[in-house]
Structure 1
Amino acid sequence: MSSSITRRHLLVEGSKVAVSASVLGSLLAACGGSDAGASGSVSLRYWVLGYSPKGANKTGMLTDAAVAAYKKAHANIKDISITGYTGDQAGFTKLVQAVQGGSTVDVFRLPSDVLPELVSSGSVAPIDSYLTDDDKNDIIPSILETVKINESYYAWPLWVPPVGMFLNLDIFKERGVEVPKDDWTYEEFVDIAKRLTFKRSDGQQVYGYTGVVDAGVVNTWPIIMGDGGTPLSSDNKKYTFNTPEGISGLQKLVDLALKHKVTPPDFGTQTPADMITGFSEKKNYAMYSEPSGSSATYKALKMNFTVKSMPIGAGGKPLTTGGIGLISVASIPDEGKLKAAMDMARYLTSASVGKDVSGYFLAPGARKSVEVNDPISLFKPFVPYTYITPIIPQWPQIRTLLHEQIQKAVLGKISPSQALNNPASEINSLLNG
């Protein structure tokens, strides 16, 4: 999945994404100007999570427009090629290998838990020399600190995509079910999911709930963690998911499939694309949990939907999960190209790009100056209580080990207790290694 934005392609063909030309002139100052090299001397390669070329999806449309806006304001940029990768374990592996290869990526979007692995291999350039006082005052301090590794900052924070519960309001209306309150409990969620699991007169089966179970995402983890369990201790030095709270939380996720039977038969093996198709096209998923990215697509489709907080478990407090969307720059030996890459990364995470490209931010922004509109704004209240997955080098391996066990439990092959106890020794060895 790749595309190339030349100087002539300033708008995406067939796209309805508007680029505000009136503010493009100010970008030279905002992004450090065009001193990185002579006119048209720098070519950059940008890898983007979830990107489809030629405006084939919302991320593709918005990314193309943002890159075009940046290019127009920077005479030193000759070309910016864009490559997409998928938001699952296979996609993240592809990205890591490409960045570590050192010859195909300059600027790239990535989730926060992938960053330490790339830093440890020396594949990412620190941003310290390019981080201005204005940047430091604008980026939410706690978020900026998450990209600090060994006293240096290694990424430009883009946004925080917390997991929320998507509700297809047409199905709620079809079944005469009231929309839940923001403080709904797991038990209330189960009751609603049961009432929304039914067969239509034409034979189509509708399911009350689903969600992706994959090593690359934590879309169902708010249910697992709702009773108070966490995968690691607060200092990230000990595995703790096999506590009674963790096991009871996983039992609740498993029960949705095996006891309450409110999930589709392939629950546990579905892809993100399956969620979108079932929720918006086939309309046979009444609820599903996911971060905010798809909400802009649903709004563009004029879907009748809303987003609610994840149901509260036995822990008694609102909780959701997520990561931090980042943009990093590869270790580029050419100083002029490195500066150009840093300038672009800053712009693509700033309020300026949000003004130039309507709807650019698909999650609440990491900067105080960034404003988001409906439906992204529905996710903003979730940010303060979002559990951010550990930003440590071992996490990609740990989440892969956990996913295998969680998936087996959801499929009924092992018990929740076995699922969370089985990887304990191996995970603790990774943490202590």
Structure 2
Amino acid sequence: MKMWKWSKLSTALLGVALFVSACGGGDNNDPAAGKSSSTNEPGATEKAWTGEIVVWDGPRWSDDKENKYHWIENKKAEFEKLHPGVTIKIVQTPWAEMEDKLNVSIAGGAWPDLVYNVSNRMASIKNIESGIVEPIDEFYTADELADFYPNALKEYEYEGKHYGVPVSTRVHSLLLNLEIFKQKGVEPPVDGKWTYDEFLEKMKQLTGGGVHGFSTYIMPSYYEAWPFLMMDGGRPLSDDLTQYTFDSPEAISGLQKFLDLKFVHEVALPDMGMSNVGDTYQAFAAQDKRLMAVQPWNSWAIASSQKEPYAMDLMVAEYPTGDSGKSISMGDVLGWVMLKQKDEGKKQMAMEFVKFLTTTEEIFITAKNYGVFPSRISSGEQRPFEANPQMERAQQIAENAMMVPRHTNWQKIDEAIQKELQLAVNGTKTAEQALKDARSQVESLLK
């Protein structure tokens, strides 16, 4: 879940004219880019809007020709056939480049019409308050909106309106190598549920003979460890995103339990929290390593751990519950956002295309093929992962996941907190000291 990395504005703006021209975004705020949907001439009949709609999308799953844009290209062709005179221009945008290019287009005032991205980026409160993002409520009935999982739809809500259409969610869960459980004679948690005490006891039983029960990493923009910090009721920010709250007794207690896995109980690898993503996964999944039985991962790791060279007897489990009595997981939401439009006819047609892309069937297809979890309840009821019990279990976890905060300065807030967590996990600071030291850094970013 990489966050925004702002390019140097002075350099970016030098290339904005060329970039906008290349992506076709220069016409997006010009009513002359298409013909209006209606006319004021006496006796005239209303005509459907015609013109070009610019859509930015990233690569998804490949077809047999290794084309990762085949799905959106096929939907474009179908929609254009249904709406003569409408052209959908697909701007293929690698995910790693999406943020910088969006920043440039917004700074230049020549953004695309539709963007597919993570909710806390394009549908950020900053963009909404700036008037860059269009609300979508007028195009949906209450019953239609009720078909979206509440935690997914909430990510696009601000002051009673919705500023995007969720398509899918990603979530963190615990992955268990059942081969190690069997070798150690340890029973996995029933239905993938356990308390922290039960989790700790099993980690102790799994540790020994060159194997540890658990490990993970601490890095900016990665949240595999955070559900442990929140298991006792701690939260990074207040509900209204105006106050830092991660130094509460509940948060300190959660971090202490996490640190105890390494420093007190010694059930975690000695380098827990200090390794990178690739090395941590290799230590868990590589056939010649498999140094721990349990690791938390985003949902991509499920598919990776089901096929060679990493295939294993895999189980998906919830994070352990703490004093709050609830298992916490973190995730994010991806969906479509419509940027500010001046032509009403074009706005209606653009949203018509969004609805065309986000039917129950299309969200089901995306979930099944792309390995993400559906945002629509009706799509989830079709069981896209019926043949994959591990993914189906993770989908259940996703339906109640907490999402990354939508604060405008979240990237910097995240970096400040993660830096202190790294100092705690390497033994430099106590749990209390680390979380309290983050306060002054975060408070300056909340103003």
Report the TM-score range of the alignment, normalised by the length of the smaller protein.
0.7 to 0.9
Does residue 187 of the first structure (1) align with residue 197 of the second (2)? yes
Deviation (angstroms), 1:79: 5.0
Does residue 148 of the first structure (1) align with residue 126 of the second (2)? no
> For residues 111 and 413 of structure 1, do their structure 2 counterparts lie closer, same or farther at Cα, with a shift above 3 Å needed?
farther
SS at match of 1:227: coil
CA distance in 2, matches of 1:343, 1:63: 23
SS at match of 1:289: strand
Provide the residue aligned with 2:118 in structure 1: 110
CA distance in 1, matches of 2:218, 2:354: 31
The residue type equivalent to 2:117 in the other structure is R
Deviation (angstroms), 1:353: 1.5
Within the candidate set 377, 382, 389, 1:368 is matched to: 377
The residue type equivalent to 1:350 in the other structure is T
Within the candidate set 412, 415, 431, 1:416 is matched to: 431
Deviation (angstroms), 1:339: 5.7
Deviation (angstroms), 1:132: 5.1
CA distance in 2, matches of 1:36, 1:293: 40
CA distance in 1, matches of 2:283, 2:241: 37
- Compare 268-277 and 216-225 and name the one that shifted more: 268-277
Does residue 67 of the first structure (1) align with residue 53 of the second (2)? no
CA distance in 2, matches of 1:131, 1:329: 14
Provide the residue aligned with 2:9 in structure 1: none
SS at match of 1:286: strand
Within the candidate set 367, 392, 408, 1:377 is matched to: 392
Does residue 138 of the first structure (1) align with residue 147 of the second (2)? yes
Deviation (angstroms), 1:85: 2.7
SS at match of 1:370: helix
SS at match of 1:97: helix
User: What are the Cα deviations for residues 279-309 of structure 1, in whole angstroms up to 9, with x where unaligned?
Assistant: 4434444211123233234445554211011
User: What are the Cα deviations for residues 227-285 of structure 1, in whole angstroms up to 9, with x where unaligned?
Assistant: 22222334433322212221121112222333334444543244444454444434444
CA distance in 2, matches of 1:355, 1:246: 37
Deviation (angstroms), 1:223: 0.7
CA contact 1:156–1:328 (8 Å) conserved in 2: yes
Q: Which of structures 1 and 2 has the bigger CA Rg?
A: 2
Provide the residue aligned with 1:294 in structure 2: 301
Deviation (angstroms), 1:310: 0.5
The residue type equivalent to 1:193 in the other structure is M
**1:341-360 maps to which residues of 2 (within 5 A)?**
342-356=351-365, 359-360=368-369
Within the candidate set 225, 229, 234, 2:230 is matched to: 225
**1:9-408 maps to which residues of 2 (within 5 A)?**
37=50, 44-47=55-58, 64-75=69-80, 76-77=86-87, 79-85=89-95, 94=100, 97-98=103-104, 100-101=106-107, 106-112=114-120, 115-131=124-140, 135-141=144-150, 143-181=152-190, 182-198=192-208, 206-282=211-287, 283-299=290-306, 301=308, 303-331=312-340, 342-356=351-365, 359-360=368-369, 362-371=371-380, 372-373=384-385, 374=388, 375-383=390-398, 385-408=400-423
SS at match of 1:73: helix
Question: Percent identity at matched positions?
Answer: 27
CA distance in 2, matches of 1:184, 1:142: 23
SS at match of 2:369: coil
The residue type equivalent to 1:313 in the other structure is G
> For residues 229 and 294 of structure 1, do their structure 2 counterparts lie closer, same or farther at Cα, with a shift above 3 Å needed?
same
The residue type equivalent to 1:223 in the other structure is F
- Compare 220-229 and 276-285 and name the one that shifted more: 276-285
Deviation (angstroms), 1:165: 0.7
CA distance in 2, matches of 1:355, 1:315: 33
CA contact 1:96–1:118 (8 Å) conserved in 2: no
CA contact 1:232–1:239 (8 Å) conserved in 2: yes
Provide the residue aligned with 2:32 in structure 1: none
CA contact 1:113–1:323 (8 Å) conserved in 2: no
CA distance in 1, matches of 2:56, 2:98: 17
> For residues 342 and 93 of structure 1, do their structure 2 counterparts lie closer, same or farther at Cα, with a shift above 3 Å needed?
same
- Compare 212-221 and 275-284 and name the one that shifted more: 275-284
> Structure 1 stretches of 5 or more lacking a match?
1-34, 200-204
CA contact 2:118–2:332 (8 Å) conserved in 1: no
CA distance in 2, matches of 1:242, 1:252: 14
CA distance in 2, matches of 1:263, 1:95: 40
> Structure 2 stretches of 5 or more lacking a match?
1-47, 81-85
Provide the residue aligned with 2:33 in structure 1: none
Deviation (angstroms), 1:65: 4.5
CA contact 2:218–2:225 (8 Å) conserved in 1: yes
Q: TM-score, normalised by structure 1?
A: 0.73
Deviation (angstroms), 1:175: 3.0
CA contact 2:193–2:317 (8 Å) conserved in 1: no
The residue type equivalent to 1:71 in the other structure is K
CA contact 2:152–2:166 (8 Å) conserved in 1: yes
CA distance in 1, matches of 2:212, 2:98: 30
CA distance in 1, matches of 2:325, 2:118: 32
Deviation (angstroms), 1:426: 3.8
